[in-house]
Structure formats: C-alpha cells, structure tokens
Amino acid sequence: MAHLLIHGKLPTRDELAAYKTKLKALRGLPANVRTVLEALPAASHPMDVMRTGVSALGCTLPEKEGHTVSGARDIADKLLASLSSILLYWYHYS
C-alpha cells in the first residue's frame, strides 16, 4: 500500500522485495534523534513522541536543495521507515 501511495503504482514482486529491503535499510535513527527520544517523559503521548522524533530527524537530516519528485519520494520512504523505530526506541526508555 505504501508503495502505491508514494510511487503511484502497485509494485511487482521484485519491486516489492526491493522496496522492503530499502525500508529496512532506512530504519536506523541518528544518535541525535535517539538522544532526544531518551529525554522524553514516559507519560508522553505516542503521537507527541512521533512528532518530536520527526522534528529531530528533520533537524539532523535536513532536506537537500533542488527538491525533485524522486527526492520527495526518498523523504517519504525515510519517514515511513523511521516512524516505527522512533516509537519503539522511545518505548524502550519509557
């Protein structure tokens, strides 16, 4: 479903396998983002945690100039891959 929404078409089996591999490779969080997540209170709402994590990610990995459609898709893929990592990393420290 994510491939369809981001890339505009349903993937073939090979494209789906490659897309899953790409998303797995993008799951990692930079040290600065992990530090921010560790500082959040355990009572934080999960949506607040994800918003804060995405903000920290944007500050750590800013967008490149000369934005293209391909670049926007890469950003969407990074966000998609990072959201579960953000929430699970914070949960580990809460």
The pair of structure tokens assigned to 44 is 């934080």
CATH number of residue 71's parent domain:
1.10.580.10
CA distance linking residue 8 with residue 93, whole number of Å: 37
CA distance linking residue 13 with residue 29, whole number of Å: 28
Q: What is the pLDDT of residue 61?
A: 86
Domains of the chain: total: 1
The yes-or-no verdict on residue 52 having pLDDT over 80 is yes
Domain of 13, in residue numbers: 2-93
Q: What is the pLDDT of residue 59?
A: 93
Model's pTM, two decimal places? 0.85
The yes-or-no verdict on residue 94 having pLDDT over 80 is no
